[in-house]
Structure 1
Amino acid sequence: MAKSTAPFSGFEFLIAWRYLRARRAEGGVSVMTWISLIGIMLGVAALILTLAVRAGFRAEFVDTILGSNAHVTVYSAQMEVEPGTGIYSNLMADYAKRAQAIAAIPGVTRAAPLIRGQVMANWGERSNVAEVYGIALDDLLTVPRIAHSDPAQGDIKSLDQGIAMGSELARELGVTVGDMVKLISPNGVKTPFGVSPRVNAYRVVYIFTAGRWDIDRTRIYMPFAEAQSFFNREGGADEIEVMVEDPEQVDDLTPALLQAGGAGTMLWSWRDASGSFLRALTMEDNVMFVILSVLVLIATMNITSGLIMLVKNKGRDIGILRTMGLTEGSVMRVFFLCGAFTGVIGTAMGVAVGVVLALNIAHVMAGVNWLSGGGAWDPSIRGIYELPAKLQAYDVLKSVGLALGLSFVVTIFPARRAARLNPVEALRYE
């Protein structure tokens, strides 16, 4: 009766490693082994790179949202200006009081009154639609993606002498710091003959790059008092821009914000503005992971093919090993280790390649641009100017776990087939 040995003994590793390295003339399947290794390596590398790019894109997109927009916008519903007049407006006349009450809420870092309006920006023969934000300079200095823009032109602290403009809008108009730009508002001066457009010229004192193409192409900042006059908002504000310590938990502040804002207060958070897009990103991430997991599974199936061929070629060896006293379990573990070695080595190579590509994504995109003739990344479609990658340990571990798990599972069937091979049948014609 064959004596059982400890699972995964040293000799089992030696035999498995010997079979894995065997040349074809010796009954080995080195070609299939290399195919399996390369397939798993490419699958794992693609999975790691894709997860890193998706995480980087999401992080950059959210950062541009939180770094250049309000975390929560507080505005007022339509209310009667004076009882019995029948005139309704959503202009906040008590904006200073509301902003002070909101700023006192724990977790709120800033509450800034804001004027918003759309204009036609004109310089020379070029015109473009722009969205004007009227804000105090001290409040604008706390907006990181605007105040600390890189690159930037001019001096943001000179805002009281003109306007600040997004870099893409400045490029399309052909203006630079110091140029005078006309802003045309359709809701201008009220006359007996109706409302006439208001046209004012402002000097561009600062050009910023927020990192979001849609913001840089449309946004203009103007001093708060000047915006009140330009848009006929004297004595009021359109909304209050609120920044909080933890934007991810912004919904927890909703009751306090509504209470501090008073009657008719309404809220619009960054999640409301971009929630559908972020949910679409999450769904796309899950779909991409499933698709690439299938590719890794297909690559690991080559291990099964290689092991089946190895078992067939090593039938005589199996018969001899069994007659020498190896148990079915020991034979099974030998061939399981053959497949496991392939999976582990292929996964390690894939991790190395995936990490290197993720850390050098800029060079990868440069190569793709060169091969495609340019335009591989269009910021007007993607929103951000370059493809980022954020390598996370969790994503790497998830990819490694998937590849190793599949590699180990697919080896079980051919390993059991080898273990159940009858030594008498294996040696009958030898």
Structure 2
Amino acid sequence: MAASPAPFSRFEWLIAWRYLRARRAEGGVSGMTWISLIGITLAVFALIATLSVRAGFRAEFVDTILGANAHVTVYEADYSAAGRGTAQIEDYDDRAARIAAIDGVSAAAPLVRGQVMASLAGRNAGVEVFGIRASDLAQVPRVAEPQEAEGTLDRFGVGDIEGVAIGSGVARELGARVGDTIRLISPDGARTPFGTSPRVSAYEVVYIFTAGRYDIDRTRVYMPFAAAQTYFNADNAATEIEVMLDEPDAVDAAVPAILDAAGGAALAWTWRDASGSFLRALDIEDNVMFVILSVLVLIASMNIVSGLIMLVKNKGRDIGILRTVGLTEGSVLRVFFICGSLTGVLGTLFGVILGVLFAIYIDPIFSAVNWLSGGGAWDPSIRGIYALPAKLQAGDVLSAVALSLGLSFVVTIFPARRAARMNPVEALRYE
């Protein structure tokens, strides 16, 4: 007795390939096969492209947060009769030194912070001033090593020069260039017997940076620490201590040690506190987008079912003959399973290629879209960042591949079983 052929033998592949490439006139459904192939390709491409853009947007957003802002900000609580608020920190150097000595802390810098109005040649802009030492400013990645920069930090806070570093958005709003002198106007100025008068001081612009985050570039001004103490009436004091960590994701675990080292009535505000709700919203949006695009992949996979049902109907006589000459139900099932799954595999492969190419070449693609739309396709004042980013992650690609292949294989089984269970006598009755 001859041994049964192994599953997915060569003849099963040959029969399946013959059915796939058969023309409609020969009883094939090549048109439906192409529709299924294109549908799965586009669905997988859309899934990978969307996931890569979402991952890139999140990574860029977090990187700008961590690169230009403190990972932890330490304040001093003020429990005065007027109510709870924040107080100036007088022993800021000692506290900063204690915090910097903690394992996992890369830097701790005292800061004087306030909001003022900047003016130049009749143009005004509301800005936020950060009074910081030059050595501490050099450790802020997105400022010391920005995307774009004019001037140099070598002249920031050196000698008697009261130069300031401003964001590119501030410079654009004021029309300022390196070497220009801007005026900073604060309503909380010099105290006199007649009350507090506005303070107006002039500073030379020595550095213009682009941190990559619109709201930072549009509002931020860095001033030498000593000059900021004088300007904001904070003599021998700081308003806060900014802490940078080696591992920003471990900020929650680092906060207790930082507060213990800060002592007193210290309070901590982390980067997660500032942006946690937005990041959680991104996570929810990622999950929703994955579910929606998964439905698109399912719809595209259902075209395989339609094509296979038509193929089984057209090949009824062939199935009867194959069963008569000795093919088992399993062999017939595998033939039609190969027909359907091969479409899914090829569609997934082409979709992955398109998705990967989109993520790699997103910059020229985005530039072309922006040009075709006449510019303004991406508004940084709304999005927060200047360009559409994409980050290709192996997990996203594998998720798309697993989803597409899984659905393609599952939906193929049902019409393939129908073909395998077809009665050869009924199939050949009218032949």
Note whether the superposition's TM-score is higher than 0.5.
Answer: yes
Mapped contact 1:56–1:388 kept (Cα < 8 A): yes
Matched, 1:92 2:89: yes
Q: Match of 2:138, as an amino acid?
A: L
Mapped contact 2:320–2:424 kept (Cα < 8 A): yes
The corresponding residue for 2:387 is: 386
- Measured against aligned partners, the alpha-carbon deviations of 1:366-422 in whole angstroms (never above 9, x if no partner) come to 222233222111000000000111111111111111110010011011001101111
Match runs of 1:58-69 below 5 Å: 58-69=58-69
The corresponding residue for 1:57 is: 57
Shift of residue 189, structure 1, vs aligned partner: 0.8
Mapped contact 1:48–1:351 kept (Cα < 8 A): yes
Q: How many Å separate the matches in 2 of 1:363 and 1:200?
A: 45
Q: How many Å separate the matches in 2 of 1:178 and 1:155?
A: 11
Q: How many residues align?
A: 427
Match runs of 1:351-390 below 5 Å: 351-390=352-391
- Measured against aligned partners, the alpha-carbon deviations of 1:78-106 in whole angstroms (never above 9, x if no partner) come to 145xxx99998611111111101100000
Distance 1:89 1:245, change over 3 A: closer
Mapped contact 2:78–2:84 kept (Cα < 8 A): no
Q: Which runs of 5+ in 1 are unaligned?
A: none
Q: How many Å separate the matches in 1 of 2:155 and 2:173?
A: 23
Q: How many Å separate the matches in 1 of 2:352 and 2:214?
A: 33
The corresponding residue for 2:145 is: 148
Distance 1:88 1:17, change over 3 A: closer
The corresponding residue for 1:12 is: 12
Shift of residue 138, structure 1, vs aligned partner: 0.2
- Measured against aligned partners, the alpha-carbon deviations of 1:22-69 in whole angstroms (never above 9, x if no partner) come to 111110000000000000000111111111111111111110000000
Q: How many Å separate the matches in 2 of 1:86 and 1:390?
A: 47
Deviation >4 Å, runs of 4+: 1-4, 84-89
Matched, 1:41 2:38: no
Q: How many Å separate the matches in 2 of 1:125 and 1:89?
A: 34
Secondary structure, counterpart of 1:117 in structure 2 = strand
Secondary structure, counterpart of 2:189 in structure 1 = strand
- Measured against aligned partners, the alpha-carbon deviations of 1:109-138 in whole angstroms (never above 9, x if no partner) come to 100000000000000110010000000000
Distance 1:85 1:427, change over 3 A: closer
- Measured against aligned partners, the alpha-carbon deviations of 1:233-276 in whole angstroms (never above 9, x if no partner) come to 00111000000100001111121111101021100000000000
Distance 1:189 1:291, change over 3 A: same
Q: How many Å separate the matches in 1 of 2:370 and 2:263?
A: 53
RMSD: 1.7
The corresponding residue for 1:177 is: 178
Greater CA deviation, 267-276 or 152-161?
152-161
In the superposition, the TM-score normalised over structure 2's length comes to 0.97
The corresponding residue for 2:123 is: 126
Mapped contact 1:108–1:245 kept (Cα < 8 A): yes
Distance 1:156 1:392, change over 3 A: same
Q: How many Å separate the matches in 1 of 2:174 and 2:339?
A: 66
Shift of residue 193, structure 1, vs aligned partner: 1.6
The corresponding residue for 2:282 is: 281
Mapped contact 2:183–2:203 kept (Cα < 8 A): yes
The corresponding residue for 1:259 is: 260
The corresponding residue for 2:227 is: 226
The corresponding residue for 1:306 is: 307
Q: How many Å separate the matches in 2 of 1:282 and 1:185?
A: 40
Matched, 1:136 2:133: yes
Q: How many Å separate the matches in 1 of 2:43 and 2:380?
A: 28
Match runs of 1:69-84 below 5 Å: 69-79=69-79
The percentage of counterpart residues that share the same residue type is 69
Q: How many Å separate the matches in 1 of 2:303 and 2:134?
A: 64
Q: Match of 2:144, as an amino acid?
A: A
Match runs of 1:164-203 below 5 Å: 164-203=165-204
The corresponding residue for 2:316 is: 315
Q: Which runs of 5+ in 2 are unaligned?
A: none
